Amino acid sequence: MLSKEKKLQLVTDMMQNHSVLLPDIFDKHKKIHPDIRNQLLNVANFIMEEVLPFFPCVTVKDIVLLGSICSYTYSASSDTDVFILVDNIFPDIKLTGTVLNHINISLSDLKCRPFFHNHFMDCGILHISNKRCIGRNIYSLLYDKWNDEPKRLQYPFTPEELFREYCQYSAKLHEYVASLEKIDNAFLTKESCIKLSNYLQMLRDEAFEAKNTSPEREYCLDYNLYRLLKRFKTYAHFENYIQDSYKNLIRKKDA
């Protein structure tokens, strides 16, 4: 359990605001270094060769680099997020999202995450309708240009103010989980697993909606509350809780 002081230090570390984009990735003209671009495209090509043949109708629309590593708010813990943007997986968009989500969970397994220029790499496949790929601070590796060029703004709150807001934000999530129906007062029921999964997805969607529509961009409050939820591993904790609850349901069924 992290102390309040340690958590506040993590908040402060997260709220970095550099004067230039990450020099290891981008040059002074905000263009990605050619060798970096080629390396990232090689990773994307490997994933496409291994995964996309299972979907004969798929079309690749773009390969993008996104996330805080494409902004002025990068830090030592920023991931290198590379995503292949596709269309025509299945006619049903909901089914497409479910299948791609399972693929991306497998690709983001910590046991196989590559390390790229001192940053962990997250690689995945997104449908072109996904909010993450139509947002801000996105660099097209395929076309070697910004789809949306980053802007350096200022945080409208202090680390202390953000941490106070986060404590309320996190408490609300914990209260929601506590209200869900459970088995033996421990694991979630199937219905509760679905509810919690939808709730976490809602928090994610709201955060990216705020980032993509707010004039404050990635400096806005809602997005940074979600970043802290990820940074403090609270989001991952409840994702694991859902998985453990499903495993418990399977054990009870087999018993």
Q: Using one digit for the tens of pLDDT, what is the confidence trace for 70-81?
A: 999 998 888 899
Q: What does the pLDDT read at residue 170? A: 96
Give me the residue label for tokens 């309320």: 168
pTM, two decimals, is: 0.85
Task: Tell me the average pLDDT across 10-14.
Answer: 92
Shared-domain flag, residues 24 and 60: yes
The values of phi and psi at residue 93, to 5°, are -65, -40
Domain membership flag for residue 240: yes
Is residue 5, in this structure, part of any structural domain at all?
Answer: no
If we measure between CA atoms, which residue out of 70, 68, 66, 69 comes closest to residue 82?
A: 66
pLDDT in tens, 107-142: 776 555 677 788 888 889 999 988 777 789 999 999
Please tell me whether residues 163 and 144 are part of one structural domain: no
Instruction: Say which residue, 30 or 110, is predicted with more confidence.
Output: 30
240 CB burial (10 A radius; 0-12, 13-18, 19+): exposed
Query: For all residues of the chain together, what is the average pLDDT?
Result: 91
pLDDT over 70 percentage in the chain: 98
Q: Is residue 2 part of a domain?
A: no
Q: Are residues 37 and 116 in the same domain?
A: yes
Residues 170 and 231: their CA atoms lie apart, in Å, by 12
3-state secondary structure the chain: CCCHHHHHHHHHHHCCCCCCCCCCCECCCCCECHHHHHHHHHHHHHHHHHHHHHCCCCEEEEEEEECHHHCCCCCCCCCEEEEEEEECCCCCHHHHHHHHHHHHHHHCCHHHCCEECCEEEEEEEEECCCHHHHCCCEEECCCCEEEECCCCCCCCCCHHHHHHHHHHHHHHHHHHHHHCCEECCCEECHHHHHHHHHHHHHHHHHHHHHHHHCCCHHHCHHHHHHHHHHHCCHHHHHHHHHHHHHHHHHHHHHC
In this prediction, residue 207 has a pLDDT band, given cuts at 50, 70 and 90, of very high
pLDDT score, position 141: 97
Residues 111 and 138 in one domain: yes
**Beta-carbon-side half-sphere exposure of residue 21 (alpha carbons within 13 Å):** 21
Sign of the C-alpha dihedral computed for residues 188, 191, 194 and 200 taken in this order: negative
Do 28 and 142 lie in a common domain?
yes
Residues in the chain: 255
Domain of residue 73, CATH code: 3.30.460
Read off the tokens for 242.
Answer: 């859902």
| Domain limits for position 212 | 159-254
Tens digit of each residue's pLDDT (9 = 90 or more) over 174-205: 999 999 999 988 999 999 999 999 999 999 99
Neighbours of 29 (CB within 10 A): 6
Q: What is the pLDDT of residues 144-175, one digit of tens each?
A: 999 999 999 999 999 999 999 999 999 999 99
Distance of alpha carbon 197 from the chain centroid: 15
pLDDT of residue 255: 63
Do 118 and 178 reside in the same domain of the chain?
A: no
Domain closes at, from 99, 127, 148:
148
184 and 74 in one domain? Answer: no
Instruction: Pull the structure tokens for residue 140.
Output: 């097209």
Instruction: Report pLDDT for 135.
Output: 84
Number of domains in the chain: 2
Do 39 and 120 sit in the same domain of this protein? yes
* 190 and 226 inside one domain: yes
Residue 39 maps to a domain: yes
The residue from 122, 148, 174 where one domain ends is 148
Closest CA to 70 of 25, 40, 104: 25
